[in-house]
Structure 1
């Protein structure tokens, strides 16, 4: 069963919140972020401001997949998680 827009937004925020709280992540979580973001980016109802944030998160997830230490990658982005989540809440 495919996820609807609200489910996708919720999943995206949950993964980001988990990374922020746990200070760690996994390649499979980065891959899940990429899949959800790709799906959201083609949604014509998405606010352009959200698309900009999604692009930033997509870049974060790509770098995480290719990182030699995924947990250090998460820790290096601690300052951005709250901004990303707040921006998504504001525009979605």
Structure 2
């Protein structure tokens, strides 16, 4: 699911979950800024759930993104990812 999930419809900024050396991690992509990265998780779903947590803590009042990221995490957990 190497797609960019962002808070607004123009999707030039947002979270992307990538394969890391030891698992999966989220990356916050924002043009002109250094990327922020999350912790590494064994399962892809853990990275999506952590991205949702990060958005809850640092987001700009756009709760829909949190729900999208949590839904993706749940979907992946159901298939063992």
Higher relative contact order (CA 8 A, sep 6+): 1
Choose between structure 1 and 2: higher helix proportion.
Answer: 1
Choose between structure 1 and 2: higher strand proportion.
Answer: 2
TM-score, normalized by the shorter chain, greater than 0.5: no
TM-score by structure 2 length? 0.36
Higher-Rg member (1/2): 1
